[in-house]
Structure 1
Amino acid sequence: MADEFISNTPDFNNPSSSSPNRESVKILLIGSNRGINSIIYWLHRLGFAEVTAWSKPQVAPNSEHKEVMSITVKQVTVD
């Protein structure tokens, strides 16, 4: 199930996109569908990630308030 959730995100476990100084970091949003969309568009305006880089919202496990979640993966340089 986790593989299905992150399969739409770029660079996940892609050996060709990795190098000794780079690693994948997953960013997960959990909240209402409206709240998540607001953050995704805000981060897009800041140049953080394309809107299409986020997975489709899915129901968050053990969610008491019918929350959803969306994830993206960013490649970062580490020292």
Structure 2
Amino acid sequence: MSQEFLPDDNKSDRANDDSAAVSEQEVVLLTVVGSPKGVRETIFTLYRLGFAQVGDWSPLQRAANPKQVMSVLIRRSGAHGTPPRKSEG
């Protein structure tokens, strides 16, 4: 397993950490790469599972491979790891 994914026990969460001072949100970037059909199907599947709204994803962009596209979703959550609630209507 790659070590960069494991928490470093020698680092502590400090209230005066620059990232904490700027925002108390956690930001996660998700990228889907594949054929246009495959990327759209994945986005729709994640929508049906309640993961994200279709409109939350970026428009399809060209990927490094000319036959592939990609779409990006940026998820922000509050200080306690819960996603912000969207207002209804």
TM class by smaller structure? 0.5 to 0.7
Which fold has the larger relative contact order, with Cα–Cα distance below 8 Å and residues 6 or more apart in sequence? Answer: 1
TM-score (norm 2): 0.59
Once the two structures are TM-superposed, the CA of residue 66 in structure 1 deviates from its matched residue by 1.2
Do structure 1's residue 71 and structure 2's residue 72 form an aligned pair?
yes
Equivalent residue for 1:8? Answer: none
The amino acid of 2:35's aligned partner reads S
CA RMSD for the aligned pairs?
1.6
Q: Judging by fraction of residues, say which structure has more strand.
A: 1
User: What is the total number of aligned residue pairs between the two structures?
Assistant: 57
Identity of aligned residues (%): 39
Unaligned runs of 5+ in 1: 1-17
Equivalent residue for 1:9? Answer: none
Where has structure 1 moved over 3 Å in runs of 4 or more? Answer: none
Equivalent residue for 2:54? Answer: 51
TM-score (norm 1): 0.66
Q: Secondary structure at the match of 2:37?
A: helix
Equivalent residues in 2 for 1:12-31, closer than 5 Å: 18-19=23-24, 22-31=25-34
Q: Secondary structure at the match of 1:48?
A: coil
Q: Give 1 or 2 for the bigger CA radius of gyration.
A: 2
Unaligned runs of 5+ in 2: 1-22, 83-89
Once the two structures are TM-superposed, the CA of residue 75 in structure 1 deviates from its matched residue by 1.8
